[in-house]
Structure 1
């Protein structure tokens, strides 16, 4: 990969309360799906680095769980810790809020952001505004002096993302690239396979169950051009297992089928996927279990 003296490389944390569109923003900046999304809060549980490289810049975006204080079990404590630790070694921060929505939960996130790192305020979902002139009165209620720049965007509609990248670039240090130009994430295909299954739980199962479930990839083998994947969905109660399996196993088949299609799109190869459901009571509040599952 050829570079020049003005090449910039840096880490950019994407921070915000749950459900402001952080993962959608990452995926559409990369033009690849590496971070799972749903309309439910706290779909993202892990730190995921997404890498975008052009002829002048390598952007290493750090997607994080939504920071929140509502729930205090060990799982949520671990996710908040991921957010705080992700701020320790970045060159810039994207603080993502929703247009016309700034409340105590946003203020709680702002309090944990370090003062010495440039913060770009990203006002997302501007496509939902019928009158764009509403933005100025809205922003006047926020202490905008704290921010190095303010960029209104629509992550979903890909509005002003090029402008956002140009703004970020100014705050990245002169550096040669850390990753090969074709890499889009530092996470393994095995990890992403588990996340794609977990996303389908958030999208296809009722409001509460996805928060009581996690996914373990038991086997991930490449045989020629075929990915053979065996995975287990862990839940806390027997009735949750029954709901995920569904009548005659139809719901579980739908979860596996949709996850497999996402994997094939990203991997560019065929996937054979088998998914089971098991009960593991109390896993979300068990420190040893969380560590074994990769949350600590």
Structure 2
């Protein structure tokens, strides 16, 4: 008797949903590594970020996308277009909805988009850790069953990891047979400079209030190895749109910028696995979100 060769499955999985539904938290939970920034504010993710999970029987390549919402300007339209474009190039769609916001207007737009495709869709009902009586989930599940035929509807807590294994099992079952696209030790296709810039931007979201974080972009100007001091030397620029925003980012006697740098450096050292010198500067780039040239320079737009 000849041994039956084990089936290996591989493919791309789009994580889509309304803003702040937990896509980045889910990706970080799956990978057990922080490659996508999170914040208690919507529209934190701005780019398509690949997260790669390789197991003995499959390689799942997750695409974390910006939240889909009603865009009111060019910059936000780029974010929505980025998210919707991801649906055309994947093998599976993982559609995240939030337990307490199943009626979010973005969900209808997403359903309309995926109904036009012939791609298997799995719904993840997220944030079940916020529901005391799990019976409350049943009307949400029944409601979504009425929209279209999904491959599965899986309740999860992306924050705590509950139900995530069941979700991954459902995804793996519908992936096509195929080889691994990336080496098994790869977690993302994004360069370290990009991840460093995102970690800095995350700290701005956490520490600075009002609407200022949405006017912030971060670019890494220098990323080099300091062999004498056995550390990585990084210099980054926090771009804002107005002088008043610059003053707030810097803070009284520079304290806000110091705190942003302190918290970012801690995460960057964990990411890179070595000591880091992080120099932060703030620069005013007036109305950068409305300037196509600057948007492209900052890396925003469809790839």
Task: State whether TM-score is above 0.5.
Answer: yes
TM-score (norm 1): 0.96
Aligned to 1:93: 93
1:184 aligns with 2:200: no
Output the CA distance in 2 between the equivalents of 1:110 and 1:271: 44
Unaligned runs of 5+ in 1: none
Aligned to 1:245: 250
1:227 aligns with 2:232: yes
Output the CA distance in 2 between the equivalents of 1:138 and 1:80: 25
The offset of 1:223, in angstroms, is: 3.1
Please identify runs of 4+ aligned residues in structure 1 that moved more than 3 A.
Answer: none
Output the CA distance in 1 between the equivalents of 2:87 and 2:52: 17
Output the CA distance in 2 between the equivalents of 1:207 and 1:187: 29
Give secondary structure in 2 for the equivalent of 1:42.
Answer: coil
Contact 1:100 1:135 in 2 (8 A): no
Unaligned runs of 5+ in 2: none
Aligned to 1:266: 271
Output the CA distance in 2 between the equivalents of 1:246 and 1:38: 21
| Residue in structure 1 matching 2:123, options 114, 121, 127 | 121
Aligned to 1:209: 212
Output the CA distance in 2 between the equivalents of 1:127 and 1:99: 9
Aligned to 2:293: 288
TM-score (norm 2): 0.94
Output the CA distance in 2 between the equivalents of 1:223 and 1:118: 48
Between the two proteins, the alignment pairs up a number of residues equal to 292
When the two chains are superposed, the root-mean-square deviation of aligned CA atoms in Å is 1.2
Output the CA distance in 2 between the equivalents of 1:101 and 1:131: 16
Give secondary structure in 2 for the equivalent of 1:222.
Answer: strand
Contact 2:74 2:290 in 1 (8 A): yes
Output the CA distance in 1 between the equivalents of 2:204 and 2:86: 26
Output the CA distance in 2 between the equivalents of 1:155 and 1:210: 24
Contact 2:50 2:188 in 1 (8 A): yes
1:159 aligns with 2:162: yes
